[in-house]
Amino acid sequence: MTPKSIPGVSIPGVAPRRLRLIGTIAALAAIGLAVCGIADRAKSKQEVQIWTNEQAIPTVTLVQPQQGPSDGELVLPGNVSAFYSGSIYGRVSGYVKDWHDDIGAHVKKGQVPAVVDVPDLDQQLAQARADLVRAQADEQLAQVTYDRWKVLAKQNIVSQQAKDER
C-alpha cells in the first residue's frame, strides 16, 4: 500500500487508512452525542408533559362533615351609633362637684347628671348681691333725703327747683 497524498495536505508518517479510521470514530462519536442529546431532550419533554397533565387534574380530599363546638363566640366588625343624640354643653366652666350618673347611662328630662362647682360664678353672684344691698341702701337714703327736701320746700326754706333736683 502506498500512501496517497491529498492535494495540498501532507501529513508525514500517518497512513490514510488510519486517518479514515480516526475520521469514522469522530463521526460516530458526533452522531452518538447528537442522538444522546436528542433522546435526553425528548425524555425531558415527555416528563414535563406528564407532570403538566398530573397538575391539570385537581386533587380533592374528601372529609366527613362534623358539628363543631356550639360555645364559640362570633365576632363581627361593625359600628354602633345612637339613632337620636344630643349634645350637652355647660353654660359656665368649672369643676365637677357631684357625679350622679355614668357616661352612657339613660337619663330622663329634668334629671341632674352632675353638679358643677363654679367659684368664678359664685364670686360674681356674691358681688351682685352686695351691689344690690348697696343700691337698696342708696335708694333708702335718696328717699329719706327727698322726704326732707319735700318738708323744707313746703316751709319755703328751699326753692322748688332745688327740691326737683333732689
pLDDT in tens, 6-61: 555 555 665 778 888 999 999 999 999 999 999 999 999 999 999 888 888 888 88
Q: What percent of the chain has pLDDT over 90?
A: 29
Instruction: List the one residue out of 72, 117, 127, 67 whose CA is nearest residue 96.
Output: 117
Instruction: List the one residue out of 97, 103, 101 whose CA is nearest residue 116.
Output: 97
pLDDT of residue 8: 58
Task: Please state, rounded to an integer, the average pLDDT across all residues of the chain.
Answer: 84
Q: What percent of the chain has pLDDT over 70?
A: 92
Q: Tell me if 21 sits within 8 A of 33, measured CB to CB.
A: no
Q: CA torsion sign, 21 to 23 to 26 to 28?
A: negative
Average of per-residue pLDDT across 142-163: 85
Q: Tell me if 160 sits within 8 A of 153, measured CB to CB.
A: yes
Q: How far apart are CA 45 and CA 53, in angstroms?
A: 12
117 forms bridges with which residues in the sheet? 95
Using the predicted structure, report yes or no on whether residue 4 has a pLDDT greater than 60.
no
Q: State the residue for C-alpha cell 416528563.
A: 47
Average of per-residue pLDDT across 136-148: 91
Using the predicted structure, report yes or no on whether residue 128 has a pLDDT greater than 90.
yes
pLDDT of residue 32: 92
Q: Tell me if 163 sits within 8 A of 148, measured CB to CB.
A: no
pLDDT of residue 11: 58
Lowest-pLDDT choice from 41-45, 131-135, 137-141, 157-161: 157-161
Using the predicted structure, report yes or no on whether residue 1 has a pLDDT greater than 50.
no
Average of per-residue pLDDT across 143-147: 89
R_g of the chain, CA atoms, integer Å:
61
CB burial readout 140-165, b (16+ within 10 A) else e: eeeeeeeeebeeebeeeebeeeebee
Q: How far apart are CA 31 and CA 24, in angstroms?
A: 10
Q: How many residues does the chain have?
A: 166
